[in-house]
Amino acid sequence: MRKLPAIESDYLLELEELPGYDEGRVLWEEAFGRSMPLRIEVGVGNSPFLIEVASREPGYNYLGLEYSHKRVSKFLLKVHKAGLDNIRMLQLNSDRLFGDYIPPGSVDHLFVNFPDPWPKRRHEKKRFIATERLRLAT
């Protein structure tokens, strides 16, 4: 039987509970409990990408962002099975982080694989690969 809540408490972060949040920043190394450069994937989805990179290159803190709770739960089960302690997840829209809690220049790598294309003009504002979002994220 899957023990998701227990697994989630190991890997799932709550933005409002992170160290530094009340002062309008996040102390990421403290949040991970290890002092390593930060790598972020936006829109983890159902992909094992972050697990593969975190296994191959362990000398980083890996933060996955995904707003679907179902995908987060499935992903965390895979993280648990892989026995990795260098990955954490936040279940939220990445817009909540960049610019405020991820200061410019503080990320070693930003991964965005197969972002939702949102091809319709009226959905343009939802695209992650958009000038303003990339400005805030870099």
Q: Which of the residues 85, 100, 108, 116 is marked catalytic?
A: 116
Candidate residues 26, 63, 71, 79; the one interacting with ligand SAM per rule CB under 6 A: 71
- Closest separation between CB of residue 121 and ligand SAM, Å? 18
Question: Token match 């503080």: residue?
Answer: 106
Candidate residues 66, 75, 86, 102; the one interacting with ligand SAM per rule CB under 6 A: 66
DSSP secondary structure letters along 56-81? H--SSEEEEE-S-HHHHHHHHHHHHH
Segment 84 to 103, residues that bind ligand SAM, using CB under 6 A: 93-95
Interhelix angle 49-56/69-82, rounded to 10 degrees, is 30
Backbone angles phi, psi at 102, to 5 degrees: -120, 90
Q: Is 95 a catalytic residue?
A: no
Q: For residues 25 and 126, which CB has a smaller minimum distance to ligand SAM in the complex? A: 126
Size of the site for ligand SAM (CB under 6 A): 17
Segment 108 to 127, residues that bind ligand SAM, using CB under 6 A: 113-116
Structural tokens at position 111: 């991964």
> What does the alpha-carbon distance between residue 60 and residue 125 come to, in Å, rounded to a whole number?
31
DSSP state of 83: T
Candidate residues 55, 68, 73, 101; the one interacting with ligand SAM per rule CB under 6 A: 68
> What does the alpha-carbon distance between residue 50 and residue 109 come to, in Å, rounded to a whole number?
12
**Residues with active-site annotation:** 116
Binding site for ligand SAM (CB under 6 A): 42-43, 45, 47, 65-68, 71, 93-95, 113-116, 128
